[in-house]
């Protein structure tokens, strides 16, 4: 088994543990888009401190790992600004209209056999796959 798969599995277990902590301690679903979106559109004003604390950990811990421990992961993010802006807008609008992303619908939804979580995951993976096929193999731009 390639080492990347093993790291994937270990990292996944840590992500699931994060979701379990957030659920069992605070009674909340760990969905990245919902936690951010609620701050952006004001719908999460009632518990904004909790949201900010979560995001501080989400941004801060990788910062410590990268800049204090010197483990800087590769991201290989495209330099195509038009693609970045379009993708950001699509992700921002899409996750809020669908009420969830990979963490909320994917991890937290599927793990309790939520039909909505499963259907959302099928559609965003399908749309993502189609997008890569079109933009990489047909148009050759990504």
> Does residue 45 interact with other proteins by CB under 8 A?
no
From the list 44, 45, 95, 140, which residue makes contact with other proteins (rule: CB under 8 A)? Answer: 95
> Does residue 44 interact with other proteins by CB under 8 A?
no
> Does residue 16 interact with other proteins by CB under 8 A?
yes
> Does residue 48 interact with other proteins by CB under 8 A?
no
Write down the least CB distance from residue 45 to other proteins, Å. Answer: 14
Separation between Cα atoms, residue 124 and residue 45, nearest integer Å = 28
From the list 44, 46, 128, 140, which residue makes contact with other proteins (rule: CB under 8 A)? Answer: 128
Residue pair 35/51 in contact by the 8 Å Cβ criterion: yes
> Does residue 50 interact with other proteins by CB under 8 A?
yes
Separation between Cα atoms, residue 76 and residue 2, nearest integer Å = 21
Write down the least CB distance from residue 58 to other proteins, Å. Answer: 4
Beta strands in 4-136 (DSSP E): none
Minimum CB distance to other proteins smaller for 45 or for 129 = 129
Q: How far is CA 80 from CA 15, 77, 91, 135, in A?
A: 30, 9, 16, 13
Write down the least CB distance from residue 142 to other proteins, Å. Answer: 7
Residue pair 51/38 in contact by the 8 Å Cβ criterion: yes
């Amino acid at each position: 088994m390639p080492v990347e798969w093993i790291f994937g599995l270990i990292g996944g277990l840590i992500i699931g543990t994060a979701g379990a902590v957030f659920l069992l301690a605070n009674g909340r679903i760990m969905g990245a888009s919902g936690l951010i979106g609620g701050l952006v559109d004001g719908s999460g004003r009632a518990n904004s401190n909790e949201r900010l604390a979560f995001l501080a950990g989400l941004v801060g811990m990788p910062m410590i790992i990268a800049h204090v421990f010197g483990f800087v992961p590769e991201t290989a993010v495209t330099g195509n600004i038009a693609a970045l802006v379009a993708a950001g807008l699509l992700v921002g609008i899409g996750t809020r209209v669908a009420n969830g992303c990979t963490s909320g619908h994917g991890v937290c939804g599927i793990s309790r056999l939520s039909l909505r979580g499963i259907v959302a995951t099928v559609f965003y993976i399908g749309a993502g796959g189609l997008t890569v096929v079109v933009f990489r193999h047909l148009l050759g731009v990504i």
